[in-house]
Amino acid sequence: MSLFRRLPRLYAIVASLFFFVGVILSAEEIQIVYTSDPHFGITRQHFQGADNVDALIVNARLVQRINSISSVVIPPDGGIHAGKAVGPVDYFIETGDIANREEGQGLSAIQSATISWKQFKETYLDGLTIKGKRGEPTEVFLLPGNHDVSNALGSYKAMTPPKDPTAFLEIYNAMLKPSTPKTAATIDPNRDRVNYSRDIAGVHFDFVQMWPDPAVRTWLESDLAKVGAATPVLLFTHANPELESKYFINPNGTHDMNGKDKFENVVSEVFQSGTKIDDPSVKEQRELAQFFGKHPNIVGYFHGHVHLNQFYTWVGPDRNIALPVISVDSPMKGIISAGDETKLSFQLITLDADAGLMTIREVLWNTDPRDPSTPLAFGGSETLALHK
């Protein structure tokens, strides 16, 4: 065979070698796209020149923008990978409220969780085209939020249908991969919890349902017993550490959900700090802070739910801990971005276990609503140590 006929094969081999070397050189870094609260089933008041825009349209545009991130150059902000093109994205994390609560009846009813899950699957699971280091599809991690749990569990609010576990069920089966998949008839949101962990590049990732209530903390204790004390742990969940009291189990009467007390019963702990939903959850937060005090290798707490891109330190009700907390924006319900769509954002997490650092960057994906093709921009960023 002549050299000229061999050239395409030689080029392919050389290209593969360069790609392999690139993987080796960057193997200590992993990159994650993080977002939350897509709330399929509702509308956004204003978006890209239109009013009352369905969540399906908004989330589809968000996914289009996420798919463009690999070629975007990170600014020289002093964080990991600064000044370079983003490149491969190894993981995608979504921390819940995939389906909005299916509230209402008749023509005003919000669509069912079954429809919302179908839209989420088509938009995100089938629509993401970002790739990891070796060209493989980016791995996806999911958690349910309080709306997903409410749809499965039921609510004191009128819902159509009264229960629909589809989103919760699909997340459970996809993430826990039980040998016998759960069905709508066998899933029990009071018993079956979406808690799982992964070891990635020297860091332990814990994904836990809703909020670290006592049942979750029991699972975490067992999980963390297998992890070295020097191994950094990142916790992903739906809700913020300062959880609103209404999400606990009703402390009154038969602990049911009712329109008088208005507790939602979406975490497994009976509320201890009072009898009303406007009583602050001091005791519950104190016990959570004590748990984090026992596990100082938990170095980051990531959540959605409050619909705000924010980096802060949670000190607990007694100001006796210092836990880095990162919350992320919602495409549908952002505290800031709902009124200013140019602030719509997701997060890019770049983690270097060898350097012991992690940079979280706000990625603004709708800076010019008149021109959806405007390149992604970077907002605030925070670099955290993985070891205390």
Question: What pLDDT score was predicted for residue 41?
Answer: 98
Question: Residue 162 falls within a domain, yes or no?
Answer: yes
Question: Residue 328 falls within a domain, yes or no?
Answer: yes
β partners of residue 16: none
User: Given the DSSP bridges, would you call strands 233-236 and 203-207 parallel, antiparallel or unpaired?
Assistant: parallel
The whole-number average pLDDT for the span 53-57 is 98
The whole-number average pLDDT for the span 129-147 is 97
User: Given the DSSP bridges, would you call strands 357-364 and 345-352 parallel, antiparallel or unpaired?
Assistant: antiparallel
Above 70 in pLDDT, residue 47? yes
What residues contact residue 208 under an 8 Å CB cut-off, 6+ apart?
143, 194, 195, 216, 219, 220, 235, 236, 237
Closest-CA residue to 57 (of 341, 305, 377): 341
CA gap 189, 220 in Å, rounded: 18
Question: Residue 369 falls within a domain, yes or no?
Answer: yes
Angle at 310 between CA 307 and CA 313, to 5 degrees: 125
Taking only the tens place, the pLDDT of each residue in 175-217 is: 999 999 999 999 999 999 999 999 999 999 999 999 999 999 9
Question: What pLDDT score was predicted for residue 8?
Answer: 39
Of 7-11, 67-71, 310-314, the one with minimum mean pLDDT is 7-11
Q: CATH code at 248?
A: 3.60.21.10
CA gap 367, 359 in Å, rounded: 22
**Secondary structure letter of residue 373 according to DSSP:** T
Question: Residue 346 falls within a domain, yes or no?
Answer: yes
Taking only the tens place, the pLDDT of each residue in 249-259 is: 999 999 999 99
Question: Residue 8 falls within a domain, yes or no?
Answer: no
Question: What pLDDT score was predicted for residue 262?
Answer: 98
Taking only the tens place, the pLDDT of each residue in 91-109 is: 999 999 999 999 998 888 9
Question: Residue 22 falls within a domain, yes or no?
Answer: no
**Secondary structure letter of residue 136 according to DSSP:** P
Question: What pLDDT score was predicted for residue 107?
Answer: 82
Question: What pLDDT score was predicted for residue 28?
Answer: 72
Average pLDDT of the chain, as a whole number: 93
**Ramachandran area for residue 80 (φ above 0: left; ψ -120 to 50: alpha; else beta):** beta
Question: Residue 20 falls within a domain, yes or no?
Answer: no
Is residue 27 very low, low, confident or very high in pLDDT (cuts 50, 70, 90)? low
pTM check: above 0.85: yes
Closest-CA residue to 190 (of 166, 165, 173): 165
Question: Which structural domain range is residue 190 located in?
Answer: 28-385
Question: What pLDDT score was predicted for residue 304?
Answer: 98
Asked if 331 and 341 touch (Cβ cutoff 8 Å), the reply is no
Question: Residue 358 falls within a domain, yes or no?
Answer: yes
- Give the total number of structural domains in the chain: 1
Asked if 166 and 117 touch (Cβ cutoff 8 Å), the reply is yes
